[in-house]
Structures are given as C-alpha cells and as structure tokens.
Amino acid sequence: MIDRLHYITQEGLNGESHAAMAERACKAGVRWVQLRIKNATEQTLLEQAQLTRQVTAAFGATLLINDHVAVAKAVNADGVHLGKEDMDPAEARRILGDKIIGGTANTYDDVVSLIAKGVDYVGLGPFRFTKTKEKLSPILGLDGYQQLIGQLQTQGHHVPIIGIGGVLPEDVSALRSTGLHGVAVASVINSASDPALVIQQLYEALQPLAKPA
Ligand code: TZP
Ligand code: MG
C-alpha cells in the first residue's frame, strides 16, 4: 500500500543533517520518509541513509531513498524514488525485487512510460513553484492534474499518483478531488515552527485512509 503522505528531507536548513531532519519529522508524526540528498559524497550518503534507516525503523516508518538504488539495497530501505536521470525503474526492479519503486513524472507520457516500467507509484509535479527543487519543470497547477488524471482514467491507466511541489495543507482537498492518491511535501514540514500541527492538518485533509494503522 502506498501511503498518502510522503515526507521528503531537504538540503541546507540550519545545517541540520538529513537524518536529524527525518527524526524530527517522524517524532512529529510522519510515517513515510524519502531521503533526498543531493551533492553529497558516497560516504555521507551511506552514513545518513544508515542513520535514517535506524530512525524510521524505530518509528515504524517506511523509508525510500531518492536516486540511489545501491544505497537503498545497502541499508535495506523499503524502496527508491527515481527521477528521469536516475536508474531505469525496470533495472531497479531487477535489483530490488518487491521493494517499492516510485518514479518522477511531469507529463502524461512520463506517467504512461513509468507504468510500463512497473513502478508502484508516480510522483507528478510540480503543483506550484518551489525553491526546494532546482531545474523545476513547468508548473501543472490544479488544471494540469485534472486534465492529466482524467486522460489516464479514460485510457484505463491505474497507478497511485502523488502530487508534489509547494503543496500546503490547504491545497490538499482540491488536489485530492483531481484523483490524486496523495501528496509529497518537504518545506512545509521542514520549515514549520510546529511540524506536528502541519502533519496533523495534512493527514486530516488526506482522510479517509490517510494514516496507516
Ligand atoms: N520534485 C518536484 S517539486 C520537489 C521535488 C523533489 C520539491 C518538493 O518540496 P516542497 O518544499 O514541498 O516544494
Ligand atoms: Mg533523481
């Protein structure tokens, strides 16, 4: 089962490590963590992944590693999230077996191609402008999701789609009404003065079936 709230770590917030950020988010209530580390040495990446594996295990949270299939395998993560420039999801499937494999899409064709490659879910965005990701693709907005998901349904394609990019709790109900399965967020949690409150608002807006038992 693919959760409806995906939390993502990010760079450069008060020099906090990714593992510390993930721990704060887990303490505040998230149960799906994507470790997204850019521009780190292999050693740092592996260390942070090992620490985050310990944190997520302690909280019973799912751990996905962004980009790095070998790291996901090394720390026995629950899966990977792969962008267009990362390993082909079909190849990742051969390596990771029945672990969770997610892929990034920005267009209808991207989604259909990822489905053909056997992903378990698709991260589709960006919903709106965000500083969290460099080289942002064109903004989809609500209309973009509506059109794209409608087209997928008409063509009989089914895969859980997760909306991403500048998502706030107050966006969630409109986003869900487009047929999105859930949302992925970084800064709204990482920069929150009260992350537990934001997480509660997100889960409430994602009901029913938002929070795993
Ligand atoms: N991919 C598209 S937007 C984005 C990623 C990784 C960043 C999401 O972070 P935020 O802070 O929730 O906009
Ligand atoms: Mg990537």
Is residue 166 within 6 Å of ligand 1 at its C-beta?
yes
Q: Is the ipTM of this complex over 0.90?
A: yes
Q: Is 130 annotated as a binding residue?
A: yes
What's the mean per-residue pLDDT of the chain? 96
Ligand 1 centroid to Cα of residue 189, in Å, is: 12
Q: Say if residue 72's pLDDT is above 70.
A: yes
Q: What is the DSSP code (8-state) at residue 84?
A: T
Instruction: Check: CB of residue 138 under 8 Å from CB of residue 110.
Output: no
List the end-to-end C-alpha distance of the chain, in Å, as a whole number: 12
Q: Is 37 annotated as a binding residue?
A: yes
Mean pLDDT of 32-52: 97
Is residue 132 within 6 Å of ligand 1 at its C-beta?
yes
Query: Which of 59, 94, 63 lies closest to 80, judged by CA?
Result: 63
Distance separating alpha carbons of residues 182 and 95, to the nearest angstrom: 27
For atom 5 of ligand 1, the residue with the nearest CA is 133
Is residue 133 within 6 Å of ligand 1 at its C-beta?
yes
State the pairing for strand pair 182-185/161-164: parallel
Query: Which of 127, 165, 129 lies closest to 10, judged by CA?
Result: 165
CATH hierarchy code of domain 5-206? 3.20.20.70
Element (H or E) spanning 132, and its range? none
Query: Which of 8, 17, 71, 15 lies closest to 36, judged by CA?
Result: 8
Q: What is the CA radius of gyration of the chain?
A: 16
Ligand 2 centroid to Cα of residue 119, in Å, is: 15
Per residue in 152-198, pLDDT (tens digit) is 999 999 999 999 999 999 999 999 999 999 999 999 999 999 999 99
Query: pTM for the full model?
Result: 0.96
Q: Say if residue 118's pLDDT is above 80.
A: yes
- In the prediction, which pLDDT does 212 show? 56
The residue ranges of every structural domain in the chain are 5-206
